[in-house]
Structure 1
Amino acid sequence: MNNKKIIDWPTFIGALILLIGVTLPLVLFPDAGKKFVSNANEFLTGNFGVLYMILGLSVFAFLLYVAFSKNGQIKLGDEGEKPEFNTFSWAAMLFAAGIGSSILYWGVIEWAYYYQGPPFGITPESKDAVRWATAYGMFHWGPIAWAIYTLPALPIAYFYYVRKKPVLKISEAVRPVLGGWVDGPLGTIIDVLFMFGLLGGAGTTLALGTPMIAQGVTDLTGIPSSLGLKAGIMLLCTIIFAVSAYSGLKRGIKILSDINLWLALFILAYIFIFGPTRFISETTFNGLGILADNFFKMATWLEPFGNLQQFKETDFPESWTIFYWAWWLVYAPFVGLFVARISRGRTIRQMVLGTMIYGTLGCVLFFGIMGNFGLYMQLTGSFDVVSFMNDNGAPATIIEIINQLPLAKLMVLLFTVLAIIFLATTFDSSSYILASVVQKNVEGEPLRWNRLFWAFALCLMPLVLMFLGGLDTLQTASIVGGFPLIFIMFLLAWSFMKASNRDLRAADDYESPTIHIKRWNKQKKKKKRSALEALEEKNNDE
């Protein structure tokens, strides 16, 4: 097919128009635009926060059901096909794509915010505040977050590898429910909203990662952390992930993700061994216990009485849990698309449980080791993290916490390099998926020029907004724009169950279009025949 005909131009152009249409007013009228977006975000999270909370628990429960049902035994690929990537590389790619450099930022410092502004009306900086601070980060980045990420992978992977439809689009994944409507404007709107959310979410990752990397460079070289330095870092990351995206999935993204994970494991092991090992291990284990004991309490807490005069309002659910669920929701279609693309040869059960377990485990390691190392500094008085953060900001505090380790400058260097690679791996995965979404079909990999275009598009808008101080506004705008994704997630779940159940039922009556489903049913019937034959032989012997 001609390259120009492969591109889905309405989606391609629509995503650019929406991004420019949101960004341009923020450039021309930054104060008014920021106020409008902020008010819209407060309205949605304040009035519809319960929808986000219901979504989180529902998706988590639904995926556990799917994993252990007969649908979970369906194989993503041909009969006897082995996984395309080994487990280590697969886990590395899905973790790097789903988390990025944000885990280095929040994993080190998030506990300090909970320590100063704890949930449930607890006194700030108290013993109870410390306990909850060790658990809430693991909750926000735990099973529910990865469940939200995993849901879109179900129908996308099913249609791509089982029904052999070479299309990586959110709109295609809801075809069983919406039918021919996805071929018109409605399908384009669904894909454009997903792309806008991803572009805005990418701006968030840059907003967190770039100042932290710049602070690491400043600490190592003495160069002031200026806008010029941040712009240079952003361009460097763009070049790295552009080359990686251009190289493709196996030669670029896989290699970069492997390097990323090995370096991350080395830094975590170093902090664990040369830091307060006993404190880190005990506090992490204790935090997991608090999380397990209060999982449903944390997943449903909304402060419904906060507006009443006799109750104290903390805004904790809106500021943290609802915000995080909305953030994961914006990224979910992208991570789901990427997880689906790299899961060839695995069963749906392996994909679902693997993503949720490996993703959660990785986040627990970062929050448990890096976060509790910083907490130890605070509680022992060896470094006043909270005061330093309030005076100098979070990026400088993160680098200063790393400076408390032995061979401090070497660890700051490795930490900064890791942050750059983490940022690059997130963006090369993003550009790969954006390129896939704007193609009518993806045979093998998206077109190279298409991957490169979205690699630089991911950087251009955040770069402009960074100079204008509007990256946080773009992030908020993407969360506001991602609100319809709540309903799209419901459609994705419905579509998967409808399509897979239909094929499983059909496999019992006639030749199924999915070989592995037919094989599964043949094996089941063979076992029944074997059992009947054994029973018949026993009766004959008697």
Structure 2
Amino acid sequence: MKTKLIDWPTFIGALVLLLGVTLPLIIFPEAGKEVVSQANTFMTENFGVLYMIMGFVIFAFLVYVAFSKNGSIKLGDEGEKPEFNTFSWAAMLFAAGIGSSILYWAVIEWAYYYQGPPFGVEPGSKEAIQWASAYGMFHWGPIAWAIYTLPALPIAYFYYVRKKPVLKVSEAVRPVLGDSVDGPLGNVIDVLFMFGLLGGAGTTLALGTPMIAQGINSLTGIPANLGLKTVIMLLCTLIFAISSYSGLKRGIKVLSDVNLWLSIFLLAFIFIFGPTRFISETTFNALGILADNFFKMATWMEPFGNLGQFESTSFPEYWTIFYWAWWLVYAPFVGLFVARISRGRTIRQMVLGTMVYGTLGCVLFFGIMGNFGLYMQLTGQFDAIAFMDANGAPATIVEIINQLPLAKFMVLIFTVLAIIFLATTFDSSSYILASVVQKNVEGEPLRWNRLFWAFALCLMPLALMFLGGLDTLQTASIVGGFPLIVIMFLLAWSFMKASNTDIRESDDYEPSTIHIRRWKNRKKKKKRSALEALEDKPDQD
């Protein structure tokens, strides 16, 4: 094993932090859950506005970058074509960024907004129905994908333009923090990122595993108990371990392509054989509501709650702030992965592609699957809310799919898709975790390193699942991810500082595509010419 390539302080630091958080939760589950819950409440109530500002500013910043001269920078050498075709590229970034959580929330999120709508709207009213169909698209829309995309800017720039063979968040902030990232500060930045990802992965497992278990229960009658959930988690671990071990092109790319084709089939089937007109009209109407109220939704903080005669619903804290915090802990991972697969594209293509393809995919899932469930509720064909109150969300999601024609077959497709979605997220995660703990990455991270993090991603959530502590780990990761707000600011500053410096020193760039490498070659020639001139200069003595 090539252990010399491993950045051991980061490797060990991430494991120590993860064990330091999870072991107390295993030993003292109730007390640990209470402490983490209080910390989360304190953070969201007192610093929630920072998350809201962060989301809006990142979105505005990326729109500016995409249409500025910085957006024309080519990630790679002059004339180099994209490493992956657009279909596979979009499939990989979508599967890595969303995972099986999209299948969970797209089907059922409307029910929570229908019962507890924003802006003081009466629950169950016609206005509540309209917000219920639109708010999921907002939470999984442009701001979410902007948060995901920001870390990709400096990471991709240093990896493909300045040819730094390091996939680390700490390396991406070097222009701002200087050589201090080579010491403990850099290790802390990378460890915080890894802890956030490991905790966020626990969330994905917490949502995906019970849903898959309910799908298997519907198909086979096997009880959706702890034993079945354990088997599912181990099966998913095996799939993404094999995929991660196979590498980016043979494993992750193939799995992501299969994932996208299955998604297209499932959505097309629901759209064609479901209430097509209702889905079309409601989705189009939701997009109009989103466009008309985007800035209102992005800045609403309910500041007058619990003042005088006003009553707080805590909607921003429960939903928008929670989502922005969740996207934040995943952002460095998704950014690293998007950066890794974007070779040959321009900054503009990477930014707009990620935001547009990511948002479009989520709109289709929420528009088709969510509005199908809403239609069942409004027409009385299936009372999803009453069923959820009695049986929980995972069982309700599968039962909504059971309302389709060819119900058993569609539940099978849905369950297989959920397994693959979970696997694609985790194989991408283990690939990036392995990259972060290596001093340099020439081609692929070490295979044993990828396998180690594939199983590490499973073992901690598996232990906590037996104790019912997965949601606590997720909350702990969000609390621990709070410093990432500062790191996101440093990443933006770092990219602008580095790219603007290179552009200023490059005096002949093409408006459509800037090839920084040509500037570097020219700079070397100028330096050599200057040295030759000095050598030819007569002696002054």
TM-score, normalised to structure 2, is 0.95
Question: Partner residue of 1:18?
Answer: 17
What is the CA–CA distance in structure 2 between the aligned matches of 1:508 and 1:188, rounded to whole Å?
Answer: 37
In the alignment, is the contact (CA less than 8 A) between 1:507 and 1:518 conserved in 2?
A: no
Give the aligned residue type for 1:83: P
Question: Partner residue of 1:36?
Answer: 35
In the alignment, is the contact (CA less than 8 A) between 2:435 and 2:441 conserved in 1?
A: yes
Question: Partner residue of 1:52?
Answer: 51
SS of match in other structure, 2:507: helix
1:116 matches 2:152:
no
In the alignment, is the contact (CA less than 8 A) between 1:90 and 1:342 conserved in 2?
A: yes
Give the aligned residue type for 1:346: R
How do residues 480-491 of structure 1 correspond to structure 2 at under 5 angstroms? 480-491=479-490
Gaps of 5+ in 1: 523-542
Give the aligned residue type for 2:2: N
Give the aligned residue type for 1:383: F
1:227 matches 2:226:
yes
What is the CA–CA distance in structure 1 between the aligned matches of 2:307 and 2:270, rounded to whole Å?
Answer: 46
The 1:78/1:484 distance shift into structure 2, 3 A limit, reads: same
In the alignment, is the contact (CA less than 8 A) between 2:161 and 2:516 conserved in 1?
A: no
How do residues 117-196 of structure 1 correspond to structure 2 at under 5 angstroms? 117-196=116-195
Q: Which segments of structure 1 move beyond 2 Å, counting only runs of 4 or more?
A: 517-522
How do residues 210-359 of structure 1 correspond to structure 2 at under 5 angstroms? 210-359=209-358
SS of match in other structure, 1:507: coil
What is the CA–CA distance in structure 1 between the aligned matches of 2:452 and 2:44, rounded to whole Å?
Answer: 34
SS of match in other structure, 1:508: coil
What is the CA–CA distance in structure 2 between the aligned matches of 1:515 and 1:379, rounded to whole Å?
Answer: 54
In the alignment, is the contact (CA less than 8 A) between 2:77 and 2:517 conserved in 1?
A: no
Question: Partner residue of 1:528?
Answer: none
What is the CA-CA distance between 1:183 and the residue it aligns to? 0.5
1:416 matches 2:418:
no
The 1:509/1:262 distance shift into structure 2, 3 A limit, reads: closer
What is the CA–CA distance in structure 1 between the aligned matches of 2:308 and 2:223, rounded to whole Å?
Answer: 48
Question: Partner residue of 1:447?
Answer: 446
What is the CA–CA distance in structure 2 between the aligned matches of 1:86 and 1:341, rounded to whole Å?
Answer: 14
What is the CA-CA distance between 1:478 and the residue it aligns to? 0.1
1:66 matches 2:77:
no
What is the CA–CA distance in structure 1 between the aligned matches of 2:19 and 2:248, rounded to whole Å?
Answer: 29
In the alignment, is the contact (CA less than 8 A) between 1:168 and 1:437 conserved in 2?
A: yes
Give the aligned residue type for 1:232: V
1:6 matches 2:5:
yes
What is the CA–CA distance in structure 2 between the aligned matches of 1:366 and 1:72, rounded to whole Å?
Answer: 29
The CA RMSD measured in Å over matched residues stands at 1.4
What is the CA-CA distance between 1:516 and the residue it aligns to? 1.1
Give the aligned residue type for 2:195: F
1:80 matches 2:97:
no
What is the CA-CA distance between 1:310 and the residue it aligns to? 1.2
In the alignment, is the contact (CA less than 8 A) between 1:111 and 1:375 conserved in 2?
A: yes
Question: Partner residue of 2:534?
Answer: none
What is the CA–CA distance in structure 2 between the aligned matches of 1:143 and 1:151, rounded to whole Å?
Answer: 12
What is the CA-CA distance between 1:515 and the residue it aligns to? 8.2
What is the CA-CA distance between 1:517 and the residue it aligns to? 2.8
1:468 matches 2:463:
no
Question: Partner residue of 2:386?
Answer: 387
In the alignment, is the contact (CA less than 8 A) between 2:337 and 2:428 conserved in 1?
A: yes
Give the aligned residue type for 1:291: L
Question: Partner residue of 2:535?
Answer: none
SS of match in other structure, 1:89: helix
What is the CA-CA distance between 1:520 and the residue it aligns to? 8.9
SS of match in other structure, 1:121: coil
In the alignment, is the contact (CA less than 8 A) between 1:156 and 1:168 conserved in 2?
A: yes
Question: Partner residue of 1:525?
Answer: none
What is the CA–CA distance in structure 1 between the aligned matches of 2:479 and 2:501, rounded to whole Å?
Answer: 35
TM-score, normalised to structure 1, is 0.94
Spell out, residue by residue over 1:239-271, the C-alpha distance to the aligned partner (whole angstroms, 9 max, x if none): 000000000000000000000000000000000
What is the CA-CA distance between 1:119 and the residue it aligns to? 0.4
Give the aligned residue type for 2:406: L
Gaps of 5+ in 2: 522-541
SS of match in other structure, 2:515: helix
Spell out, residue by residue over 1:406-435, the C-alpha distance to the aligned partner (whole angstroms, 9 max, x if none): 000000000000000000000000000000
The 1:225/1:518 distance shift into structure 2, 3 A limit, reads: closer
Give the aligned residue type for 2:197: L
Give the aligned residue type for 1:99: I
The 1:518/1:434 distance shift into structure 2, 3 A limit, reads: closer
In the alignment, is the contact (CA less than 8 A) between 1:154 and 1:348 conserved in 2?
A: yes
What is the CA-CA distance between 1:307 and the residue it aligns to? 2.8
Spell out, residue by residue over 1:94-142, the C-alpha distance to the aligned partner (whole angstroms, 9 max, x if none): 0000000000000000000000000011111110100000100000000
In the alignment, is the contact (CA less than 8 A) between 1:78 and 1:515 conserved in 2?
A: no
What is the CA–CA distance in structure 1 between the aligned matches of 2:423 and 2:302, rounded to whole Å?
Answer: 38
| Greater mean alpha carbon deviation, residues 308-317 or residues 289-298 | 308-317
SS of match in other structure, 1:132: helix
The 1:403/1:3 distance shift into structure 2, 3 A limit, reads: same
Spell out, residue by residue over 1:172-229, the C-alpha distance to the aligned partner (whole angstroms, 9 max, x if none): 0000000011001000000000000000000000000000000000000000011000
In the alignment, is the contact (CA less than 8 A) between 1:508 and 1:521 conserved in 2?
A: no
What is the CA–CA distance in structure 2 between the aligned matches of 1:283 and 1:515, rounded to whole Å?
Answer: 43
What is the CA–CA distance in structure 2 between the aligned matches of 1:246 and 1:260, rounded to whole Å?
Answer: 18
In the alignment, is the contact (CA less than 8 A) between 2:78 and 2:517 conserved in 1?
A: no
What is the CA–CA distance in structure 2 between the aligned matches of 1:382 and 1:235, rounded to whole Å?
Answer: 37
What is the CA–CA distance in structure 1 between the aligned matches of 2:310 and 2:74, rounded to whole Å?
Answer: 52
What is the CA–CA distance in structure 2 between the aligned matches of 1:50 and 1:264, rounded to whole Å?
Answer: 35
SS of match in other structure, 1:483: coil
Question: Partner residue of 1:526?
Answer: none
What is the CA–CA distance in structure 2 between the aligned matches of 1:382 and 1:509, rounded to whole Å?
Answer: 65
In the alignment, is the contact (CA less than 8 A) between 1:149 and 1:333 conserved in 2?
A: yes
In the alignment, is the contact (CA less than 8 A) between 2:74 and 2:514 conserved in 1?
A: no
What is the CA-CA distance between 1:4 and the residue it aligns to? 1.3
SS of match in other structure, 2:403: coil
What is the CA–CA distance in structure 2 between the aligned matches of 1:367 and 1:151, rounded to whole Å?
Answer: 24
Question: Partner residue of 1:374?
Answer: 373
Question: Partner residue of 1:508?
Answer: 507
The 1:519/1:386 distance shift into structure 2, 3 A limit, reads: same
What is the CA–CA distance in structure 2 between the aligned matches of 1:263 and 1:253, rounded to whole Å?
Answer: 15
Identical-pair percentage: 85
What is the CA–CA distance in structure 2 between the aligned matches of 1:345 and 1:493, rounded to whole Å?
Answer: 21
In the alignment, is the contact (CA less than 8 A) between 1:151 and 1:336 conserved in 2?
A: yes
What is the CA-CA distance between 1:518 and the residue it aligns to? 6.2
Question: Partner residue of 2:405?
Answer: 406
| Greater mean alpha carbon deviation, residues 275-284 or residues 304-313 | 304-313
What is the CA-CA distance between 1:508 and the residue it aligns to? 2.2
SS of match in other structure, 1:294: helix
In the alignment, is the contact (CA less than 8 A) between 2:426 and 2:457 conserved in 1?
A: yes
| Greater mean alpha carbon deviation, residues 259-268 or residues 301-310 | 301-310
In the alignment, is the contact (CA less than 8 A) between 1:155 and 1:173 conserved in 2?
A: yes
What is the CA-CA distance between 1:521 and the residue it aligns to? 12
Give the aligned residue type for 2:272: I
What is the CA–CA distance in structure 1 between the aligned matches of 2:69 and 2:18, rounded to whole Å?
Answer: 41
What is the CA-CA distance between 1:442 and the residue it aligns to? 0.1
In the alignment, is the contact (CA less than 8 A) between 2:73 and 2:514 conserved in 1?
A: no
